[in-house]
Amino acid sequence: MSSVTTVRGFEVWLDLAYAEGSHMWVDQPTPETARVGLDTLGVQTSGSLAHVDLVALGTELRRGEPMGTVEADKFVGPLRSPLSGVVRQRNEAVLGDPGLVQRAPYSAGWLLVLAPPAGGWDGELDRLVHGPDAVRSWFDEEIRRFRREGVLAW
């Protein structure tokens, strides 16, 4: 069971790691896999999702490269990979029902499973926000920033 908290009305799973800038989360159930998805703040600021497209199985990604695209009320554009790796699984359920990302972003609404690149994830995992206190603090500051910038209503 995940350690869950609420930060300014947004559900946040504290045992996941997060990519600053993209609002993608990373769960590493084994050293050989990383499951990724879009966090609740990324979902909220995108609006209602109409379409999700993900790269093909076997695609080699570098951190920050598009791993797919999303079409939503407030955002149309790329989903940026939080880690480098090779795509091992795509969530076919999300491709058929993009709303699943909104309804269950941290569980059934995951997007991809990556295997590490040849050099592993050394250094990349350290660039993610991780640890309960760091995640809570970062998420709180992101909400404040989005409100200052008019992305979220007060």
> pLDDT value at position 1?
46
pLDDT tens readout for residues 48-90: 999 999 999 999 999 999 999 999 888 889 999 999 999 999 9
Q: What is the pLDDT of residue 2?
A: 65
pLDDT for 47 equals: 86
Nearest of 93, 94, 38, 36 to residue 61 by alpha carbon? 36
For residue 27, what pLDDT is reported? 97
The DSSP code for 129 is: B
Question: Is the pLDDT reported for residue 154 higher than 80?
Answer: no
Q: Quick one: residue 69, left, alpha or beta (phi over 0 = left, psi -120 to 50 = alpha)?
A: beta
* CA-angle at 91, arms to 61 and 55, nearest 5°: 30
Please give, one letter per residue, the 3-state secondary structure of 11-63: EEECCCEEECCCCEEEEEEECCEEEEEECHHHHHHHCCEEEEEECCCCCEECC
CATH tag, 22-128 = 2.40.50.100
- What confidence tens digit (pLDDT) does each residue in 1-52 have? 469 999 999 999 999 999 998 899 999 999 899 999 999 999 998 889 999 9
* pLDDT-wise least confident of 57-61, 117-121, 140-144: 117-121
Which residues face 106 on adjacent strands?
none
Whole-model pTM?
Answer: 0.93
- Half-sphere exposure of 23 toward its Cβ, with a 13 Å CA cutoff? 19
What local confidence, expressed as pLDDT, does residue 99 receive?
94
